[in-house]
Structure formats: structure tokens, C-alpha cells
Amino acid sequence: MTSKKLPAPDIRTTLHVRDTCLCLHAQRAARVLARRFDEALRPAGLTNGQFSMLMSMNRPGQVRMREVASLLGMDRTTVTAALKTLEKRGLVTTEPDPEDRRGRLLVLTEAGRERLAEAMPIWTAEHGALEADLEDADHLRAGLIALVK
């Protein structure tokens, strides 16, 4: 099979994509938000990803790894890797799921709950400041939620 070499997009096309690409702008915003919350949560000893993961497990009893992965929009391999750090720090425990040998059950430990209690006022203040900086946080949130449904 012979492939025909296509010309690179012209500068107008490049600028159009740069200025309008929703994926690009969402990725850039996600990185800025991640850095902002990483910095804010540092005194609690958590990254924004760890905070989100712990919050996803903050319920009575055990939670299935696939539920956490689904809520966070991650694959199970990525969740497994992220859990290792939390497990080593004693914030989470994991055990085999008796209903699904391939699955794992996750439990937030007392130390994990304490870390969340420490992080929660920090998150609340930073999130409030972020919402105050935005023109219409509810509209933005609704649009983002609509994308993942």
C-alpha cells in the first residue's frame, strides 16, 4: 500500500485548532487545576488525585475497585498503581473481592479518614476561592458533567 504524503495544515488551521479545540483547553485547565490543588493539599500530605481517590472511598464498608475507577474515570490498572502509595501509607486497605476474583475491595482506614478530615477544610477553602474566580461555576460544572455521561 502506498501512502500519499499530506501537506501539513496551514497556519490559519493551526491557530483555529489552538483557539477552539475543546480537548486542548480541557487538558490545559485540568493541569492548572491539578497543580493548584496539589499545592493547596500539600500541608495535608495529599495530592489532588489522592484526595479524590480517598473521597471516592469515603463511605461505610468496602467499595469495589471498579466503582472507584468508574467514578474517577480511570482504568483499573491506573487505580491499582495509585492505591499502592495509599496502601503503603496505611490510608487504604485492599482485599480480594469474594464475588469477583479479578476484583478488589477497598477500605478507607481510620488513618485515611483522619487524613481526609485534615484535608477537607483546605479543599473547601481552595474550591471556594476557585469558584469565586469563575464567572459561572455551576454552568461549567454542568457542562463537564454532561461530557462524562
Cell numbers for 17: 485548532
pLDDT at 103: 86
Kindly state the cell numbers that stand for 15. 491557530
Q: Are 73 and 26 in contact (CB under 8 A)?
A: no
* Res 1: pLDDT: 57
Encode the chain (149 residues) as per-residue pLDDT tens digits.
567 888 888 899 999 999 999 999 999 999 999 999 999 999 999 999 999 999 999 988 889 999 999 999 999 899 999 999 999 999 999 999 898 888 899 999 999 999 999 999 999 999 999 999 999 999 999 999 999 88
Say what the pTM is: 0.88
Q: How far apart are CA 130 and CA 36, in angstroms?
A: 9
- CA dist 129 and 60 (Å) reads 30
What nine digits make up the cell of 90?
496505611
Nearest CA-CA partner of 149 in 67, 71, 32, 97:
71
